[in-house]
Amino acid sequence: MVTSELDAAFAALGDPVRRALVTRLARSDATVGELAAPFDLTHQAISHHVGVLRRCGLVEQRREGTSRPCRLRADRLARLSAWIDDQRRTWADRLDALEQHLTEEEAGR
């Protein structure tokens, strides 16, 4: 995943409403009306949030007659998760190396 895609996805997920929409879509596809039901927000506001998620590639919409169900792109979430895992491994390795260095330094005293 390129940096601009990561930036857009993490920016989109920085909003609690959009995180809630992603959580809801992880269970099953839903229309904007269905997504709006638990929120005290207008249909237009939910459409805006869905649009942000769509533009960053986390959600896709398709036409089914007059309905436009939204679907979570789990492959995109997997890419974000892989990036986070890479960062976690890098920092774990760095902290292990620091611990080793400090242990060796302490033993040399």
Task: Tell me the pLDDT tens digit for each residue of 32-78.
Answer: 999 999 999 999 999 999 999 999 999 999 998 888 999 999 999 88
Q: Which run of H or E residues covers position 106?
A: helix 74-107
Q: In the prediction, which pLDDT does 37 show?
A: 93
pLDDT over 90 percentage in the chain: 60
* CA distance linking residue 42 with residue 97, whole number of Å: 52
Residue 54's nearest CA partner among 41, 66, 70, 36 is 70
Per-residue confidence (pLDDT) for residue 44, from 0 to 100: 94
For domain 3-107, give its CATH number from 2.30.30.790, 1.10.10.10, 3.40.50.970, 1.10.1670.40: 1.10.10.10
CA 107 to chain centre: 44
**Whether residue 106 has pLDDT greater than 90:** no
**Residue 61: its H or E element:** strand 59-61
pTM of the shown model: 0.79
Per domain, the residue ranges of the chain are 3-107
